[in-house]
Amino acid sequence: MTPIRLLIVDDHPIVRDGLRGVFSGDPAFDVVGEAGDGLEAIARAGALDVDVVLMDLRMPRMGGVEAITELRRTAPAVRVLVLTTFDTDRDVLPAVEAGATGYLLKDTPRAELVRAVRAAHRGEAVLSPAVAGRLMGQVRGPGPEVLSARELEVLTLVAAGSTNREAAQRLFISEATVKTHLLRACTKLGVSGRTAAVAAAAERGLLKPPAS
């Protein structure tokens, strides 16, 4: 069977060395390269015909979320498996929204990591238990007040016809932050896509006319 071509992306050389050691002795994998930040990752993923990228999130020059977003645009066949120490909402949701196939923490056991890379290569979603629990908590959400004030502001602008960029300019936040709010709103409302989120919020009477 053709080995899975793997790119390891982390700004700490000792972490890259450790990960290379996990996979280099297994004939099912071929570690074709390493990168120390997101910019390097994008360049090397394109040049090395990579199947799966093991991606850290917080790195200099370009972080993991930005790199994932760009890889989804330039190399959509490449699977990205996040491997990081961070499991907060500000890390998990943007990475998933950007297009990560999976999200694992660096305390993941070796055998589980190997299985996760195989699963990611097949296009299967892979989440560590802590991350899965966090996302499920977002799905369940609180009772009547499901959406935050900012999520409602974003949905209200979308309902009025604003693009993500226009909503970002109106609210003085980044376009990536708008996308994160939309993802959270979709998750909490149990829908997929901004149009469905607007419809669900309107059905519950949550939307108000945007301020002029």
Query: For the domain that residue 111 is a member of, what is the CATH number?
Result: 3.40.50.2300
Side chain identity at residue 9, one-letter code: V
Query: Is 68 in the same domain as 112?
Result: yes
| Residue 212: inside a domain | no
Question: Which pLDDT does position 64 carry in this prediction?
Answer: 93
Give the range of the structural domain holding residue 78, as residue numbers without chain letter.
4-134
Q: At what angle do helices 164-171 and 175-189 cross, to 10 degrees?
A: 110
| Residue 37: inside a domain | yes
DSSP annotation of 34 reads: E
pLDDT at 141 > cutoff 60: no
Question: Which pLDDT does position 145 carry in this prediction?
Answer: 44
More confident residue, 191 or 55: 55
Query: Is 112 in the same domain as 62?
Result: yes
Beta partners for residue 8, in sequence order: 34, 54
Q: 62 Cβ partners below 8 Å, 6+ apart?
A: 37, 38, 39, 41, 42
Query: Is 175 in the same domain as 90?
Result: no
| Residue 92: inside a domain | yes
State how far the alpha carbon of 114 is from the alpha carbons of 15, 96, 191, 209, in Å: 16, 20, 32, 50
pLDDT at 199 > cutoff 80: yes
Would strands 52-55 and 79-84 be described as parallel, antiparallel, or unpaired?
A: parallel
Query: Is 48 in the same domain as 89?
Result: yes
| Residue 141: inside a domain | no
* Whether the predicted model's global pTM rises above the 0.75 cut: no
Q: Give per-residue burial for 169-198: e unless 16+ CB within 10 Å, then b.
A: ebbebeebbbbbbbbbbbbbbebeebeebb
pLDDT averaged over the chain?
A: 86
| Residue 210: inside a domain | no
Q: What integer is the mean pLDDT of 93-120?
A: 89
Q: What integer is the mean pLDDT of 55-64?
A: 93
Query: Is 12 in the same domain as 112?
Result: yes
Number of H helices, E strands in the chain: 10, 6
Question: Which pLDDT does position 55 carry in this prediction?
Answer: 96
Question: Which pLDDT does position 136 carry in this prediction?
Answer: 54
Query: Is 110 in the same domain as 19?
Result: yes
Side chain identity at residue 125, one-letter code: A
What stretch of H or E contains 134?
helix 129-140
Q: What integer is the mean pLDDT of 139-152?
A: 64
CA 86 to chain CA centroid, Å, is 12
Query: Is 80 in the same domain as 126?
Result: yes
Query: Is 160 in the same domain as 102?
Result: no
